[in-house]
Structure 1
Amino acid sequence: MAIITPHKTSPLIDGRQSDRALLVRRGVQRFFYDLRVSLLPEMTLASGRRADLIGLTEKGDLFIVEIKSSIEDFRFDCKWPGYRDYCDRLYFATHDGVPSGIFPEDCGLIIADSYGAHLLREAPEHKLAGARRKALTRQFAKLAADRLMQAELAAHNLAAMGKSA
């Protein structure tokens, strides 16, 4: 489900994501939704970096999914090791046109298309410290609530103009 925003551009799609990356994201979102995991796209971390997807499980575990749409996308990205400080598990997600062998063995690996995803390799667990978990969980909740409010306000504005959402 797309988030409606009252802003001219969506904070979830800022133009840096390729069409292929957005399809992978959709498949990953569907996969984890079926597992009852809550996901937020594009959450800015304390480091200033933005996680492509951050997930919160029913147990309170946090994980990050870094989406890579090509070999070049992976090779030129040096920021992903820093994501380990903000999650219990780190995954890469890509599509079947990218060779799985380029991704580090100490990260989970997901292959996805726009309809779903398959977990090829589970990510090893690196438990977060309690204080960092608490801060990230609060940030996750606030961002989710803020985006819901934006969607409701946008739907209200459309309804007031006589249009449907």
Structure 2
Amino acid sequence: MMPAQPGFRLARGVARMLIGMGHAPLCEFVPSGGLRVDVISVAPSGEIWIVECKSCRADFTGDRKWQGYLDWCDRFFWATDCDFPVELLPEGSGLIVADAYGAELSRMAPAAKLAAARRARVLRDIARTAACRLVRSTDPQAFPDMI
């Protein structure tokens, strides 16, 4: 099933690329109250990547929460389509060019290692969220108030 909204289409392509790189991506993840990242991924090395998908200029300029995501990952990326004005994006972040079918890593994000306690918490929360979603996919009544 193809997602209708442009941001979800980008996230789908990003997830496909990350899987191809050996990552374990999870879409629509809440690392902390008030934050919701488009894609969080655990790399084969254990690094945690966050990818924020932006479908247009207004989507980017209206987002003021993205800086809060930096505290929850080792590398931070933007994902855009090929028509996005990338000169708007801040320096010092990675860039992925995507569509609904795939993506290409255009610029690697610099590493900013998470503290061990934060990494343990994020990995635990990713695992719990993914496990609950998997159970819910076969038993929708199992977790009625979860995503």
User: Is TM (by shorter chain) over 0.5?
Assistant: yes
Q: Structure 1, residues 48-79: CA drift from partner, whole Å, max 9, x if none? A: 31111100012211010011110111111111
Cα shift at 1:47: 4.0
Amino acid at match of 1:62: I
Partner of 2:31: 45
**Which of residues 107, 114, 129 in structure 2 aligns to 1:143?**
129
Secondary structure at 1:98's aligned position in 2?
coil
Aligned length: 140
**Which of residues 59, 74, 87 in structure 1 aligns to 2:73?**
87
Partner of 1:102: 88
* RMSD of aligned alpha carbons: 1.6
The question of 1:35 aligning with 2:21 is answered yes
The structure-2 alpha-carbon separation of the partners of 1:47 and 1:106, relative to structure 1 and needing over 3 Å to count, comes to: farther
Secondary structure at 1:125's aligned position in 2?
coil
Amino acid at match of 2:116: G
Secondary structure at 1:81's aligned position in 2?
helix
Cα shift at 1:97: 1.7
Report the TM-score when normalising by structure 1: 0.80
Partner of 1:68: 54
Among the aligned pairs, what percent are the same residue?
41
Structure possessing the higher radius of gyration over alpha carbons:
1
Partner of 1:132: 118
Unaligned runs of 5+ in 1: 3-12, 155-165
Q: Structure 1, residues 35-58: CA drift from partner, whole Å, max 9, x if none? A: 110011111112431111100012
